[in-house]
């Protein structure tokens, strides 16, 4: 077993993090940034939709071009995937994603880690109210909650491609730490993380 906080029980989708599906093949990074920005600015309630406008606004901002006009069918709104970073259909490296999150959400102190957090670090972040970006091979999603399950603590995944209960229409599911990190194998599939250490910044007085 793992040492951890007993009674890790929080679901940040009940506290303002929106449930968004990525509206283009490579927009997982933009979807996560948009979800975190919405959550930390408390602008929207919890909804399930394509969040096209907020996603393409993030992409357009990073790319420096209008990526919002070519609206194709949902899931393919950017006119096709690109293997090039800083294009409308492209992905974004995790360290660049952290830089963009820091720029868009300056109230938080985002850290970048080339690994999964320990289980205790993960629980502490969630209990502070800070969701955690999870990098997987070719994809990013977010861990947004914890609860007691049959075999111990389970963690809630929010994934913009869906996949919960095997359905493309369900964006969340719960799984133990080992499954989130190793997915049943012997090597880690959780290869990088971004999360806020905002608790250190709650008592800062800003003098204007």
Residue 46 has pLDDT above 70, yes or no: no
2-11, 28-37, 196-205: range with lowest mean pLDDT: 196-205
Whole-number pLDDT of residue 206 = 39
Give CA–CA dist 43/178, Å, rounded: 34
Residue 44 has pLDDT above 50, yes or no: no
Residue 171 has pLDDT above 50, yes or no: yes
Residue 38, classed as helix, strand or coil, is: helix
Residue 31 has pLDDT above 80, yes or no: yes
**Are the C-beta atoms of 98 and 132 separated by less than 8 Å?**
no
Residue 127 has pLDDT above 80, yes or no: yes
64-101 pLDDT, tens digit each: 999 887 667 777 777 778 888 888 889 999 999 999 99
Whole-number pLDDT of residue 6 = 61
Average pLDDT over the chain, rounded to an integer: 86
pLDDT-based confidence at 161, cuts 50/70/90?
very high
- For residue 31, give every residue at least 6 positions away whose Cβ sits within 8 Å of its Cβ, in sequence order, or none: 20, 21, 22, 23, 51, 55, 160
């Amino acid at each position: 077993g793992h040492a951890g906080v007993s009674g890790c029980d929080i679901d940040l989708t009940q506290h303002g993090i929106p449930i968004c599906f990525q509206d283009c093949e490579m927009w997982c990074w933009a979807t996560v940034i948009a979800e975190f920005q919405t959550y930390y600015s408390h602008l929207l309630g919890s909804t399930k939709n394509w969040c096209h406008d907020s996603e393409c606004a993030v992409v357009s901002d990073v790319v420096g071009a209008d990526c919002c006009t070519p609206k194709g069918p949902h899931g393919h709104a950017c006119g096709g995937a690109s293997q090039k970073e800083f294009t409308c259909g492209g992905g974004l490296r995790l360290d660049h994603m952290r830089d963009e999150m820091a720029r868009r959400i300056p109230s938080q102190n985002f850290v970048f880690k080339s690994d999964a957090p320990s289980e205790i670090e993960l629980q502490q972040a969630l209990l502070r109210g800070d969701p955690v970006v999870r990098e997987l091979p070719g994809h990013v999603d977010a861990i947004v909650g914890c609860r007691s399950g049959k075999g111990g603590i389970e963690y809630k995944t929010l994934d913009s491609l869906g996949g919960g209960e095997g359905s493309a229409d369900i964006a969340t599911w719960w799984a133990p730490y080992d499954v989130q990190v190793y997915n049943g194998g012997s090597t880690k599939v959780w290869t990088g993380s971004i999360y806020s250490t905002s608790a250190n910044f709650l008592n800062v007085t800003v003098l204007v």
